[in-house]
């Protein structure tokens, strides 16, 4: 009897874990809750460190100093095999690469540096003399990002600014002498996408032909932003279907061309 009960319990636990694994792989909400809250806090407690700090150690251990491609590969490997992290990721990263290459910008703004993964992807493709500003709200993440960007040998191509996007955008012309941006990558707080694009318009930071690329428009999702850029006569938008970084959850990027 006890043997049968143990078998049933073991089977139930196995089924529960299988269901949990399926949900984490396929359901966006479950994926984010598991990776961004439960799993991250567990690792933080066990290691007495943070996920950005652990990512930095992985880069320092496995990447070649001064080689951006090896830094990107080291972070991708860490996120696939050790700990998930909300970088743009390798799959969507290739889309980001293609858009940056197509635009060939001379002025670039990134909102949401996190640990510098997408910053490295963008900076390595920029022509000499390009002005590139990346903005990060969290000081601890910004500290790690600076070290990763420097490890990739790209510190001279990037200006990393700490603070809130809503505070910075109105001051960009005055502080950095940039009149308009050729390319803007949005990958920060999703509820800031729409207010910030309206700030770009209000302060004249977009020119005819400026390109905005927004990440995570499906998961976690930015419905108000998508409705705005897809219905405004001032933009021509295209959706690039993909997956949430390092998962099979549906996600994508929205590229919006400013028409003036």
216 is catalytic: yes
Chain centroid to Cα 211, Å, comes to 17
Q: Is 77 exposed, middle or buried (CB count within 10 Å of its CB: 0-12, 13-18, 19+)?
A: middle
Residue 118 marked ligand-binding:
yes
Q: Could you say which of 245, 251, 254, 255 is catalytic?
A: 245
Q: Is 254 annotated as a binding residue?
A: no
- Which of the following is catalytic: 92, 131, 157, 190? 190
Residue 245 known to bind ligand: yes
Looking at 157, 216, 251, 254, which residue is catalytic?
216
Active site (annotated) includes residue 61: no
Residue 136 marked ligand-binding = yes
Exposure class string for 163-186: b at 16+ Cβ within 10 A, else e:
eebeebbeebeeeeebebbbbbbb
Task: Kindly name the residue from 90, 215, 251, 254 that is annotated as catalytic.
Answer: 215
Dist CA 144 CA 115 (whole Å): 6
Q: Is 157 a catalytic residue?
A: no
CA distances from 208 to 204, 211, 225, 238, 259 (A): 11, 9, 19, 17, 5
Question: And the tokens for 130?
Answer: 């390009």
Known binding residue 190? Answer is yes
Q: Is 216 annotated as a binding residue?
A: yes
Catalytic annotation on 187?
yes
Residues of the binding site for Mg(2+)? 187, 215-216
Residues of the binding site? 88, 118, 136, 187, 190, 215-216, 245
Residues of the binding site for S-adenosyl-L-methionine? 88, 118, 136, 187
Q: Give catalytic residues, as residue numbers.
A: 187, 190, 215-216, 245
Residues of the binding site for substrate? 190, 216, 245
């Amino acid at each position: 009897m006890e043997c049968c009960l143990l078998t049933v319990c073991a089977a139930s636990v196995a089924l529960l874990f299988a269901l949990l694994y399926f949900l984490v792989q396929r359901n966006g909400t479950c994926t984010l809750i598991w990776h961004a809250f439960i799993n991250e806090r567990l690792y933080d407690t066990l290691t007495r460190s943070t996920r950005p700090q652990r990512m930095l150690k992985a880069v320092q251990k496995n990447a070649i100093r001064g080689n951006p491609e090896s830094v990107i590969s080291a972070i991708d490997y860490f996120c696939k095999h050790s700990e998930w992290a909300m970088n743009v990721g390798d799959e969507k990263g290739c889309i980001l690469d293609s858009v940056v290459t197509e635009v060939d910008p001379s002025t670039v703004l990134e909102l949401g540096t996190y640990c510098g993964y997408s910053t490295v992807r963008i900076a390595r493709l920029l022509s000499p003399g390009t002005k590139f500003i990346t903005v990060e709200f969290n000081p601890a993440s910004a500290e790690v990002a600076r070290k990763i960007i420097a490890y990739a040998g790209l510190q001279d191509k990037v200006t990393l600014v700490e603070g809130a996007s809503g505070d910075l955008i109105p001051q960009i012309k005055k502080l950095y002498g940039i009149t308009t941006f050729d390319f803007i990558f949005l990958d920060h707080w999703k509820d800031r996408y729409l207010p910030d694009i309206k700030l770009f318009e209000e302060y004249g930071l977009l020119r005819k032909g400026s390109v905005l690329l927004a990440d995570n428009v499906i998961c976690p999702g930015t419905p108000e932003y998508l409705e705005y850029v897809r219905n405004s006569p001032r933009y021509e938008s295209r959706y690039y279907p993909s997956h949430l970084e390092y998962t099979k959850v549906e996600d994508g990027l929205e590229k919006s061309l400013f028409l003036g």
